[in-house]
Amino acid sequence: MADTQSPADAYAAARQRNQHPRLAEFSAGIPFELDPFQVTACEALEDGHGVLVCAPTGAGKTIVGEFAVHLALAGGTKCFYTTPIKALSNQKYADLVERHGKRNVGLLTGDTSINSGAPVVVMTTEVLRNMLYADSESVRDLSYVVMDEVHYLADRFRGAVWEEVILHLPPEIAVVGLSATVSNSEEFGEWISTVRGDTTVVVDEHRPVPLWQHVMVGRQLFDLFNERDNTGDRKLVVNPDLVHHVQQRERREDAFQPRHQRGRQAQRARQSQRGGYRQLTYRPLPRPEVIAKLDSEGLLPAITFIFSRAGCDAAVTQCVRSGMRLTTEAQAAEIAEIISRHAAELPEADLAVLGFWEWREALMRGFAAHHAGMLPAFKQAVEELFVRGLVRAVFATETLALGINMPARTVVLERLVKYNGESHADLTPGEYTQLTGRAGRRGIDIEGHAVVLWQPGVQPTQVAGLASNRTFRLRSSFRPSYNMTVNLVAAMGPDSARMLLERSFAQFQADRSVVGLSRTIDRNTEAMAGYREQMECHLGDFASYAELRAKITDRERRLAKQGSAARRHEAEEALQALRRGDVIAVPGGRRAGLAVVLDTGPDDADPRPLVLTEDRWAGRLSAADFPTPAEVLGRLTLPRRVEHQVPRVRRDLASTLRASGITAPGRVGKRRTSAADDAELAALRRALRAHPCHGCEDRENHARWSERYARLAAETEKLRQQVAATTHSLARSFDRIRALLAERGYLEGTGPDQEVSKDGRRLERIYSESDLLVAECLRRGVWESLNPAELAAVVSAVVFESRRETESVPRVPAGSVSTALADTTYLWDALTTDERRHKLAPTREPDLGFAWPVYRWARGESLTNVLAAAGENGQLLSAGDFVRWCRQVVDLLDQVRVASAGTPMGAVARDAVAAVRRGVVALGTS
């Protein structure tokens, strides 16, 4: 076939070959033409710039990262490819090995090390951070660092690691940041340019596969927007047919309610969306029927996001029980072969407790769950089968949206509310965009589809707002930790470390937020100058006169408050002195007149006597009913028991009270306020009258301007305090941490000569969320004399976090483990006391819920027994959860091993790692 390339295209291609030969070489090995944003980013990279690429999921931004790998290999240097999670590292490693061969690619994920000396190494971001702090030889000859999913720096638990890496990397290393589309990409790029030098920001909001939005109401599937155009600039209009149908459905739902409950259905629906009340009539379409509808519309494969692990598993069970099958016999045979490969190393004795056979049956039918509670080997099998198109329906939690390459034709959202760790909250537009971004497989689908399942209370306009608003603002979660602080002081000294913290994205954003406040302060200051002109008086300094007026007002308020407090105290004392049968006068209100005390009340601290008035009202009174203390006017002899609830008893006793001859005072006298005889207030008033401005004819006009001036001055002072609190906030936090660490002996010396102590060197190697608590336990020897299984049990307390609060105290191994856990908790309590004193966030309390299961596992017991024991202990752990927590225990044990190298503790930690890392825990990576 003759070459149909136009002269202009031929010229452009030749120009690219001449100016960017590496890119031309790279492009020749790719089976598709690069998009403009990919070309722009790759050219900038070849020109020696760092790049930040912000593009939607599935747009192909990883091509830019792969070009950095190509440049490193072509130039004989190194490239590190970092990812936020191990699963993504494994996936990227496999991709790069396929392209460049095993000899050129390595993998480092904390518990896995493959060919770590290769020119290209895939790793989790934490691994690179640790390398930089340790000044590792591996960083030599490093030219490029790819930071995939760099928007992860917003994560409140792990986000700081990304900023640490960006700030610590030597300036000659080019950073390639790959991010989801964020609305403040220019701000993020500006910060990276500030700390890394010249950085090209490439933003592309075009989805290579168009995304259509739908709402499924019952069995009917509606387009969300009137026009099937989600990519144009025209204003999108919500589909009127959908709006009308939803209104009809809600009226029908409301009609089934009892009359007294009508009109509240929408409110109950919204509450049930947040996990509150159960629907009375509405039943969602069964999940098998949803899948069947999608299948009939040609919308499979689909990922249904269910914000609950149990919900995902239940959905799979429902589909299997329905008898539905989405696979052919040939596909089922291929699925069985892949399952066998992934499950080959699973101990046969554990298959039943792992739910293997139920999981396998679902996969053979084309269904699967995907969530953090699954065994890693199961998740990896699901991912492979889904990418191959053999699994047609996956029910997943939102963790699937974190970068794993599992695109689908359709994404389904069952609810628009999820639990955020603290409460049920509406999905944000950014979360909606990230989840639905999985829809549409490039090179396979011509369009992707997002489907929201309707429930009462969900309005089409609400869905449209999420679908059309792509605002996802990247906010830094960076803050100094104890480990970071000792590493920074060791690497560069406190002064340079403070300067580095000032360059963080967190401080960059904080300082930017101050800009608007500073402008307001400037405007206020200008306005205040105008107010001062208006309050000028020809007789004298009106500002000093206004100050006297303000002092008088303030003194009067304080005296009034003191007087009120004193009167209340006197009234309370008088009520406390009352006895049963005393007759008093209620001074005012509807109950004014005589009253007899029936009961003095149970609480002397808040006296509330029960009385009966002469107009037959019975009830309790308080100090608030007496502007002056109650006085006893006489006494009545009462029966031993007065049934004041009985009308006849109230009538007779009120009659006795009226006939007693006791009379209420005609008028309750009022006490003089303390203001009348206050010397300070009298002196202020004399000074006011003596002031020259007191005789000014225009005095009250000047006063009005002075009051405006005072209000604005107070407002401006608050703004100045807010600015002061924001500016240098990270450096101040760093200084508070240093003060605590110095107090506890982890830092030595003061000022610029401050150094890390021997104990601080141990803390440098502890990267746990509870880093200082771990260091304290090691320093004080509370974990010594433990055997490997016991150490694993105790260490679990500082990593494990129960998913649900329980009132029962978890069982822990007796003896040494119990003692060590008690000592650990005691150290935590002392540490948090110091943290509060230094105005630092307190360390999380140790959680004993995993100690018993991991202890039994480390002793060599079977998975079946261990999970059963966990259930008896109030912790309902899935096998996947058990493996995940075991691996976190292993991570910390390994840190303890390194931090305690050459000591008996180091040897026990090493043996503990081996004891926990066995069986299903040792298989694959999470």
Q: Say which range, 79-93, 578-592, 664-678, 682-696, has the weakest mean pLDDT.
A: 664-678
User: What average pLDDT does the segment 135-140 reach?
Assistant: 84
In this prediction, residue 275 carries a pLDDT of 42
Is the CB of residue 704 less than 8 Å from the CB of residue 505?
A: no
User: What average pLDDT does the segment 640-657 reach?
Assistant: 88
In this prediction, residue 280 carries a pLDDT of 45
- Residue 480 CA, distance from chain mean position: 17
- Residue 893 CA, distance from chain mean position: 27
276 pLDDT tier (thresholds 50, 70, 90): very low
In this prediction, residue 402 carries a pLDDT of 57
Tens-place pLDDT, residues 419-463: 655 667 788 887 888 788 888 877 788 899 999 999 888 888 888
Which of the pair, 886 or 404, is modelled with greater confidence? Answer: 886
54: closest CA among 477, 396, 433? 433
**In whole angstroms, how large is the CA radius of gyration of the chain?**
36
Quickly tell me which residue has 């610590």 as its tokens.
168
462 residue type, one letter: Q
Percentage of the chain beyond pLDDT 90 is 34
Could you give the CA distance from residue 567 to residue 557 in angstroms, rounded to a whole number? 15
What's the mean per-residue pLDDT of the chain?
83
User: What average pLDDT does the segment 859-876 reach?
Assistant: 79
First to last CA, the chain: 49
Other C-beta atoms closer than 10 Å to the C-beta of 847 total: 16
Could you give the CA distance from residue 59 to residue 37 in angstroms, rounded to a whole number? 10
φ, ψ of residue 33 to 5 degrees: the values are -80, 135
Could you give the CA distance from residue 5 to residue 11 in angstroms, rounded to a whole number? 10
By the 10 Å C-beta count (0-12 exposed, 13-18 middle, 19+ buried), 668 is classed as middle
770: closest CA among 811, 825, 733? 825
669 pLDDT tier (thresholds 50, 70, 90): very low
- Residue 915 CA, distance from chain mean position: 34
Could you give the CA distance from residue 92 to residue 383 in angstroms, rounded to a whole number? 13
In this prediction, residue 111 carries a pLDDT of 66
Could you give the CA distance from residue 778 to residue 789 in angstroms, rounded to a whole number? 17
From residue 647, how far is each of 591, 621, 660 by CA, in Å? Answer: 17, 20, 20
**Is residue 125 over pLDDT 80?**
yes
Is the CB of residue 675 less than 8 Å from the CB of residue 563?
A: yes
User: What average pLDDT does the segment 518-544 reach?
Assistant: 80
In this prediction, residue 44 carries a pLDDT of 93
Could you give the CA distance from residue 897 to residue 906 in angstroms, rounded to a whole number? 4
Is the CB of residue 121 less than 8 Å from the CB of residue 376?
A: no
φ, ψ of residue 404 to 5 degrees: the values are -65, 140
User: What average pLDDT does the segment 499-503 reach?
Assistant: 83
- Report long-range pairs for 523-529 (Cβ below 8 Å, ≥24 apart): 524/712, 524/715, 524/716, 524/719, 525/716, 527/712, 528/709, 528/712, 528/713, 528/716
In this prediction, residue 120 carries a pLDDT of 94
Which of the pair, 53 or 556, is modelled with greater confidence? Answer: 53
Rounded (10°) CA dihedral 346, 348, 351, 352:
-170
Other C-beta atoms closer than 10 Å to the C-beta of 804 total: 8
Could you give the CA distance from residue 462 to residue 242 in angstroms, rounded to a whole number? 13
405 pLDDT tier (thresholds 50, 70, 90): low
176 residue type, one letter: V
Tens-place pLDDT, residues 10-32: 555 555 566 888 998 998 888 88
Sign of the Cα torsion 148, 154, 160, 164 reads: positive
User: What average pLDDT does the segment 350-364 reach?
Assistant: 89
498 pLDDT tier (thresholds 50, 70, 90): confident
**Is residue 477 over pLDDT 80?**
yes
In this prediction, residue 262 carries a pLDDT of 46
294: closest CA among 462, 451, 492? 451
Greatest Cα pair distance in the chain? 125
Question: How many degrees, rounded to 5, is the angle at CA 366 between CA 361 and CA 372?
Answer: 80
Percentage of the chain beyond pLDDT 70 is 87
Write out the H or E segment, with its range, that includes residue 128: helix 125-133
Tens-place pLDDT, residues 160-172: 888 889 988 988 9
Is the CB of residue 755 less than 8 Å from the CB of residue 748?
A: yes
Which of the pair, 239 or 873, is modelled with greater confidence? Answer: 239
Q: Which of 193-202, 503-512, 884-893 has the highest mean pLDDT?
A: 884-893
**Is residue 836 over pLDDT 80?**
yes
By the 10 Å C-beta count (0-12 exposed, 13-18 middle, 19+ buried), 98 is classed as exposed
Tens-place pLDDT, residues 197-217: 888 999 888 888 888 999 999
User: What average pLDDT does the segment 220-244 reach?
Assistant: 74
**Is residue 926 over pLDDT 70?**
no
Other C-beta atoms closer than 10 Å to the C-beta of 76 total: 9
Is the CB of residue 351 less than 8 Å from the CB of residue 344?
A: no
Q: How many Cα atoms are found within 13 Å in the side-chain-facing hemisphere of 61?
A: 27
Cis bond before residue 301 (omega within 30° of 0): yes
Tens-place pLDDT, residues 233-267: 446 788 888 888 888 887 776 665 555 444 444 44
**Is residue 141 over pLDDT 80?**
yes
Tens-place pLDDT, residues 62-111: 899 999 999 999 999 999 999 887 778 888 888 899 899 999 999 988 66
**Is residue 784 over pLDDT 70?**
yes
Q: Which of 87-96, 173-182, 904-913 has the highest mean pLDDT?
A: 904-913
Which of the pair, 312 or 560, is modelled with greater confidence? Answer: 312
In this prediction, residue 59 carries a pLDDT of 79
